[in-house]
Chain A
Amino acid sequence: MRQGWRTGAAWLAGAILALGGQAAAQQLRLPPDLAYAKAEGSPGNVIFSHQFHVPVSEKCTACHVTLFRMLTPTRTVTHVEMEAGRSCGACHNDRMAFGPTDAAGCGRCHVGEGRSSREPGTGANARVAASHETPAPH
């Protein structure tokens, strides 16, 4: 319940902060965009952007480590999971954030190959690349 509340509050804060926070997020050392492998029948790869989502919450714990692991983010996301309120579905459920029935269609998440070409790639390598295990820049 507490998690639900937190995520909800985080989303509200995010809706307000999304633009202003974007600039602040730029200075953070965040993992590169995460390209999820395309499952059979999927309309296109889903590319997750930390840059875009970080302004939604002040705390990384809104998603980590209850919804997503950070050191070994090898998981895939399925719509079945999402419907059960797990992974992306904890927020992207048509209530807190747009969900699978969004009028704009699947393309809001499934941005597909066109965009993934600018990303670190697809499949296993991309997921490793998106780990928080980036070499320390210090």
Chain B
Amino acid sequence: MKGAILFDSTKCIGCEACVAACKEKHDLPAAIDPKLTAYTWTVVEQRNKAFVRRLCMHCESPTCVSVCPVEAFRKEPSGPVVYDASRCIGCRYCIMACPFDVPKYQWDRTTPIVQKCNMCADRIAVGKEPACAAVCPTGATIFGDRDQLIGEARVRLKAAPTTYVPHIYGLEEVGGTSVLMLSSVPFPSLGIRPDLPVTPLPTLTWKALSKVPDVVVVGGALLYGIWWITNRRIRVQEALAQEAAKKG
């Protein structure tokens, strides 16, 4: 099964149970930032009298994965796009490349890492649904097999054609996403980008860039870069180890 989340804006009451559950699941600080940050991986925004969630869309062909030079980002066959801080060199290409402005950097830390929703991959691995889907009291956020959720979305559109705009967001955008959305108001008025192509974005990015000869990166700059990256990796690993030790 390929896991996916279906968010139906018409059912959402803006209660933010999803936000709270995400905070608890990932041991994030309880304060809820108004926008996505490294410490708030999902938010509920009110736009045009409708509520809309922001979270990683878990693209089928994720740009973040393709631009990452060290494969710190990975698309799992089970759906989630996950990030491995121990591989990350802090280049932040992912942050620039994501069409949905999702990955966020810990700007306030000395050894920052990138953070974003990971679809609760560890919960999915043991057969649980993501924390946000588990607590949503209205069924606005549900988890399931992507194909089945697409079927469910089609059933809803057909059953209430006057309620919904006739579109499943994420079915095709950027080659498809594992977060699908339904809405009663046009998606742009929810602040969701209407301008994305239905083909995957990645082809233009890192893999193409990496073919450019490295002549621009010369001498000291290169050596310094290598030192900085190595040093940073060590420090991040230390920080992660410390945190792990703290948690016991």
Contacts and interface: CB of A to CB of B under 8 A. Distances in A.
B24 A69 contact: yes
A34 to B, nearest CB: 14
Main secondary structure of the interface of A (DSSP, over half): loop
Contacts of B21: 64-65, 70-71, 132
Contact of B134 (A28, A30, A60, A136): A136
A30 B16 contact: no
Contacts, number: 65
18 contacts: A28-B137, A29-B136, A29-B137, A29-B138, A60-B17, A61-B16, A61-B19, A61-B32, A64-B21, A69-B24, A70-B17, A70-B20, A71-B134, A72-B24, A133-B134, A136-B133, A136-B142, A138-B144
Interface of A: 27-30, 58-61, 64-66, 69-72, 132-134, 136-138
A133 B134 CA distance: 6
Interface of B: 13-17, 19-21, 23-25, 30, 32, 128-129, 131, 133-139, 142-144
Nearest to B6: A138
Contact of A59 (B16, B131, B142): B16
Contact of A60 (B16, B129, B133, B143): B16
Nearest to A57: B15
Contact of B15 (A58, A69, A136): A58
Contacts of A134: 134
Given A71-B24, A136-B143, A59 B137 contact: no
B30 A65 contact: yes
In the complex, the 7 A-B pairs of residues with the closest C-beta atoms, listed nearest first: A64-B20, A60-B17, A28-B137, A132-B135, A65-B20, A61-B16, A65-B24
Given A28-B137, A30-B137, A138 B142 contact: yes
Nearest to B28: A65
